[in-house]
Chain A
Amino acid sequence: MKGLLLRAISFSFNKTQTPFFNDLSTSFERDALHFIMGKNGVGKTTLFRILGGNYPADSMIAGTICIDDTCYDLTDARNKQQLKTRVQLVTQNPKDMTIGCLTVEENMQMASLGHLPKFAPLPSAKPLYDIQKQYGISPLMRVDDLSGGQRQVLAILMALQRHCSIVLLDEPTAALDDKNSALVLACIKEIVSKGIIVLFITHDKELARLYDGNATCRQITSDENGTRCISS
């Protein structure tokens, strides 16, 4: 299967707690944007943490995550690092992911640095899109001078510099007005069309309607025991 497959994922924060996810299985195909919805605290961000290999070391986890034809057994701690390289999280606040005092181009270059930066010039940024033409962002602009939407677009494009297969967006439009949200959605549509799997947490049902590309809506709910499940 081409896409993201979650197989029998079980997760609890510690040994004594009831499972947060129990035998969770679902899939996310390419060529569509997947909206993830649900109440606060229902486990949307926890799901993203599991996908991105950012779950706490003392948590109990089992199951398999398959990205295209490569599967990662979550009981093997070495796979945490592998997941981190293949999955990139973009947070609600783009200021966390960008450097205000540097230019757009320098930010893109910084995003492609290795684990240990060297005494060598910055690497060239991957020429992804014509960001000036498509989003009105000049590569020489200081990031502090960008609008909120432009900064969020930059954060998403910076995530793509890491050669990832999956982009997880945690409410990227929550703090944006309609115009800036539309800019971010246009950027997301572009990267979905390039074959990157995009999962998008939102509370805004209108946003799913505004998106004019192929999309799915998944709901995370909690049963009476506190175990979460996700609609297919």
Chain B
Amino acid sequence: MINIIANYLHQLLLHMPLICGTYISVSLLKVPDLSLESAYTCGALFASALLPMLPLPLPLQLIVLICVSLASGALVGLLSSSCTMFLRIPHLLSSIITIGIYHGLYQLLVGSYVATTSYANPLACLQLSPYYPEMGCLLFMQGILLVVLYMIFKTQLGYCFVTYGNNASFFDHFSISKRYVFIMGICIANSLAGLSGYLFAQSTGFAEMNMGIGKVLLCITALILSKTIIPIKKPISLMVPIYAGLLFFALQQLLLLIGFNLRYFTMIQALVVLVIMAFRQRNAQPSDSLGV
């Protein structure tokens, strides 16, 4: 039982930045942002590739790698959001273009696969238990992350993220830079995805070019589940991604417990989204906002 709980917590902590990032991008766009998948891979590959080049004590190494993964993710966001804002390309197409460009960059700069198993794990620098060496560090990091995000959501920019999704023309009327709000939001969201990618790669011992595929579906499923089961009226609340993570990985562990083969889990996620959206449509609830 402890193993199940530890595994649940571990998966939740690895994915929490990604879910928070998706929450921000959905608040902005009202539709999922595909470039998050590229940011996730980018953070994982670049930080993993840098690991052997850092002859530093583990805590310092971890701080540098976190910064690198956040910056890598933010660069992906910068490219996709700049294409949308400056070239006036629809964001879906901008994301597809971004994925294509970064696909080439990965192979050019770091290769399609990076293994980290032969190096000391920086995530084990704050051990609470020898059985779960990464748990202490992950808990500490996520604590800081949630406090920072809580503060961001209370700022002018946090409110602007909600406003952008709700009524983007507001910014034109009040001479507020729409470009700045959009680019900042997408960069923050993608940097969080980059961090999550690095944490996952460090934990599994490798990063590879296709590891981001399906991650947006995972997060959208989690967020829609959260908003359906525990509706929160506040326009932007940190509790939404927290509940999303808790519910999603609880469902995953439950399916594992009853002997479900996780190879079909992506299909289950898609079906969950499909059923909830169909139900919303039948009850004439607005579906453009994905309920998020």
Contacts and interface: CB of A to CB of B under 8 A. Distances in A.
B177 A118 contact: no
Contacts of B160: 110, 113, 117
A230 to B, nearest CB: 25
Nearest to A91: B173
B152 A119 contact: yes
A100 interface: yes
A191 to B, nearest CB: 17
B182 to A, nearest CB: 12
Most A CB atoms within 10 A — which of B169, B173, B181?
B173
Main secondary structure of the interface of B (DSSP, over half): helix
A101 interface: yes
B167 A100 contact: yes
B235 A102 contact: yes
A84 B173 contact: no
Nearest to B289: A101
A110 B173 contact: no
B14 to A, nearest CB: 27
Interface residues of A, number: 29
A121 B154 contact: yes
A122 B159 contact: yes
B273 interface: no
A121 B167 CA distance: 20
Given A118-B157, A119-B155, A162-B174, A102 B180 contact: no
B177 A116 contact: yes
Given A96-B169, A121-B154, A121-B156, A102 B177 contact: no
A109 B235 CA distance: 16
Nearest to A112: B174
B173 A113 contact: no
Interface in A80-104: 84-85, 89, 91, 95-102
Given A117-B180, A162-B174, A99 B156 contact: no
A120 B155 contact: yes
Nearest to A123: B156
Nearest to B165: A101
Contacts of B155: 117-122
Interface string A144-176: 000000000000001000100000000000000
B177 A96 contact: no
B164 to A, nearest CB: 10
A113 B178 CA distance: 12
B181 A117 contact: yes
A117 B174 contact: no
Contact of B176 (A96, A98, A115): A115
B167 A110 contact: no
A119 B160 CA distance: 11
B162 A84 contact: no
A98 B175 contact: no
A95 B160 CA distance: 16
Given A96-B173, A98-B170, A122-B156, 11 more contacts: A85-B175, A96-B167, A98-B167, A110-B160, A114-B176, A116-B177, A117-B157, A117-B159, A117-B181, A119-B157, A121-B156
8 contacts: A96-B170, A97-B173, A99-B163, A102-B162, A113-B156, A115-B175, A115-B180, A121-B156
Interface of A: 84-85, 89, 91, 95-102, 106, 109-111, 113-123, 158, 162
Interface of B: 152, 154-157, 159-160, 162-163, 166-167, 169-170, 173-177, 180-181, 235
